[in-house]
Amino acid sequence: MSLPSYISSENVGPWHIFLHQVDQVAPLLEKSLWPWVETLRRPKRSLIVDVPIRLENGEVAHFEGYRVHHNTSRGPGKGGIRYHQDVTLSEVMALAGWMTIKNAVVNVPYGGAKGGIRVDPRTLSLSELERLTRRFTSEIGSMIGPDKDIPAPDMNTNAQVMAWMMDTYSMGEGRTVTGVVTGKPLSLGGSLGRPDATGRGVFVTAREAAKRLAIPIAGARVVVQGFGNVGEASARIFAEAGAKVVAVQDVSATVYNPAGLDVAALRRFLQENKTLKGAPGCSEISREEFWSVPCEFLVPAALESQINRHNAGQVQARIVVEGANGPTTPEAEAILAERGVVVVPDVLANAGGVTVSYFEWVQDFSSFFWSEDEINQRLERIMAEAFAAIWQLAEDRKLSLRTAAFVIACSRVLEARAIRGLYP
Ligand code: NAD
């Protein structure tokens, strides 16, 4: 696959990667949709906000925050909130764009949105984090709402952060509005199954790909980057299904055991020690060695652009399942394709989270809550059906799974856009 020069340098931000993906898919869409493709190349609205908070030492600190609605043709905006020191508007735009695609892949009635604050949350106390979250929620208050735009957790945000967001928004409205965010605690209208949903979806799509490639899950070796919400749940669910998780990397260390790591023990160790360094029952390897660990599945579940032209040639996996958003650069993807490695793309593989977020939103509206079994069964069905449609299209038209997912999603979004027409 030849890549345009602006992409092949790998010096571009994720937004350019998103544009490249849209450009690739545009010629494959129905001709009647071509006039609307430009809408995907332009976020509908982007907001940059100043978030000032008083620190414990009495000083005032300022942080930059963002909320982007990429596209709302199919429904309200939906997408997570990220706290990270490297967050930029360009990154949030790309993440919002991928949400538009992802929501259409699993056919939930949402557009795409995303938000973030440029902050290293590890440097803040719990009450500073609460003040930051509340002020940010208030600053983006005009953009969010249960039928407008519904945030959820992403990197370094969790159920507690969602509870503060929901409370802040509710105070402004003068009533309790549980449906304004998803990924909430159970006691506030959260959904059973939500914490594991993204990891469960990663596993379901991995299993579906493995079935088609005749790779048994039992005994398969799995390597996971990121041991947070997505990485830990993916590792645990793979292990429960009989796979061997042989290496895990997070921000603190890379741990390895060719006989299989004890995922539950690793989780406990991380909770107690806040680092994977020194975890029992495994050895530490270098960050670079991680990429060449022999395995059947590689699950990147941390940040963008982790699989790139420098390490794609070393990847031993037969299937890469993208738990993270945008973890594979286009250059790396071309290298993996040449080497016969199948990539289950982020917009499909990690869509389990937003799918159960949709269930949570529906349950909040109806004030009727489902059992965990029901949730997992519905999630399983949606993920397996989305996978089957994408696999079939990829086979029929000789496309990568990512391109096939984009064809299905962009068609859904642009059909909605075309039939709505232009206002005024
Ligand atoms: P998280 O904050 O719970 O965990 C992030 C993990 O990545 C941590 O283990 C952290 O140590 C690790 N990490 C950070 N920097 C790293 C580095 N340089 N090298 C190796 N590891 C590093 O975040 P999360 O919610 O699990 O999100 C992870 C990815 O999954 C993100 O790309 C996010 O957008 C995506 N995602 C999350 C959800 C969700 O429901 N939480 C849904 C879809 C996609």
117-149 tens-digit pLDDT: 999 999 999 999 999 999 999 999 999 999 999
Per the prediction, the chain carries an average pLDDT of: 96
Q: Which amino acid is at 299?
A: V
**Which residues are near ligand 1 (CB < 6 Å)?**
153-156, 198, 225-231, 249-251, 301-303, 323-325, 350, 353
Give the residue-averaged pLDDT of 283-304. Answer: 97
CATH class of 197-349: alpha beta
Percent of the chain with pLDDT over 70: 97
Distance 174 CA to ligand 1 centre (A): 34
Question: Does the pLDDT value for residue 97 go beyond 90?
Answer: yes
What's the whole-number mean pLDDT along residues 2-13? 62
Residue 421 Cα to ligand 1 middle (Å): 38
pLDDT of residue 376: 98
Tokens of 183: 């990924």
Kindly tell me if the per-residue pLDDT of 11 is higher than 90.
no
Confidence of residue 13 (pLDDT cuts 50, 70, 90): confident
Contact 130, 102 (CB under 8 A): no
pLDDT in tens, 24-83: 999 999 999 999 999 999 999 999 999 999 999 999 999 999 999 999 999 999 999 999
Concatenated DSSP letters of 297-343: EEEE-S-TT-B-TTTGGG---SEEE--SSS-B-HHHHHHHHHTT-EE
Sign of CA dihedral 149, 153, 154, 157: positive
Q: Return the ligand 1 atom nearest residue 327 CA.
A: 32
Give tens-digit pLDDT for 306-365.
999 999 999 999 999 999 999 999 999 999 999 999 999 999 999 999 999 999 999 999
Q: Which fold has domain 44-176?
A: Rossmann fold (3.40.50)
Structure-block tokens of residue 270: 């991380």
Query: In the prediction, which pLDDT does 6 show?
Result: 57
Catalytic residue among 102, 114, 184, 244: 114
162, 303, 304: residue to mutate for ligand 1 pocket, most atoms within 8 A of CB:
303
* Numbered ranges of CATH 3.40.50.10860 in the chain: 44-176
What predicted TM-score, i.e. pTM, was given to this entire model?
0.96
Ligand 1 centroid to residue 153 C-alpha, Å = 10
Q: What is the pLDDT of residue 5?
A: 61
Query: Among this protein's residues, is 114 annotated catalytic?
Result: yes
Confidence tier at 3 by pLDDT (50, 70, 90): low
Confidence of residue 263 (pLDDT cuts 50, 70, 90): very high
Give yes or no for residue 419 having a pLDDT over 60: yes
Q: Which residues contact 314 (CB under 8 A, 6 or more apart)?
A: 291, 292
Considering the chain, tell me which residue range(s) the CATH 3.40.50.720 domain(s) occupy.
197-349
Place of tokens 């790909």: 209
Mean pLDDT value across residues 403-423: 97
Looking from the CA of 269 toward its CB, the CA atoms found within 13 Å total 18
